[in-house]
Copies of this chain bind each other. A is one copy, B any other.
């Protein structure tokens, strides 16, 4: 699902790749903290220490850069989550996963929200390609959660007929909603509460 960062038809030296990466990481950071619309290309130029012509050398325009940022953020989140969820196979493990997310979001008091969620909210209705990419990334993330629930099933913790996909969607909903509420309150408590409720429900399906 992850789109390749590099455009197909051009040669790219190591030096160029570094420049390109520098642009993307700077843009990712800015667009996460300020929002896509509020981030100008001049901001990106200043933050990355790259000239404007280079920006246009590597990206067709702002839309293309935004899409690259989405790919990059997506890869970052998915990699992190793949690692975090890889060996989780218990409710307690899910709770530790939740703790890590909340703790991580607490350092900024919930500000900026979820890296993918805030991009989605801003971009979904204005760039259909970006929307679909983000939709795929959410699906991938949910897939990782579904794997965990599958392992819970294998371990006999969850019944075989547990509706894994629905549970996964519900868990992701609670997570995203939690991020948004934390962002609005500048307090991570509602995020913790929201995810907790989803986990409680999943746990309640086990203890039968």
- CB contact list, A168-203 vs B, under 8 A: 169-178, 180-181, 183-186, 190-191, 193-198, 200-201
Q: Which of B172, B180, B197 contacts A166 (CB 8 A)?
A: B197
The reply on A107 being an interface residue by CB < 8 A is no
Interface-facing stretch out of A16-24, A121-129, A145-153: A121-129
Q: Which of B34, B194, B204 contacts A169 (CB 8 A)?
A: B194
The reply on A38 being an interface residue by CB < 8 A is yes
Q: Which of B37, B113, B120 contacts A35 (CB 8 A)?
A: B37
Question: Please, which residues of chain B bring their CB within 8 A of the CB of A28?
Answer: none
Shortest beta-carbon distance from A82 to chain B in Å: 20
The reply on A157 being an interface residue by CB < 8 A is no
Question: Please, which residues of chain B bring their CB within 8 A of the CB of A198?
Answer: 170, 174, 197-198, 201
A-side residues, CB < 8 A to B, are 33-35, 37-38, 111-113, 117-118, 120-122, 124-126, 131, 134-135, 138, 166-167, 169-178, 180-181, 183-186, 190-191, 193-198, 200-201, 204
23 contacts between A and B (CB under 8 A): A35-B122, A35-B126, A37-B37, A120-B184, A121-B183, A124-B186, A135-B184, A166-B196, A166-B197, A169-B181, A169-B190, A169-B193, A170-B194, A172-B181, A172-B194, A173-B173, A173-B190, A173-B194, A175-B177, A176-B177, A177-B178, A177-B194, A200-B201
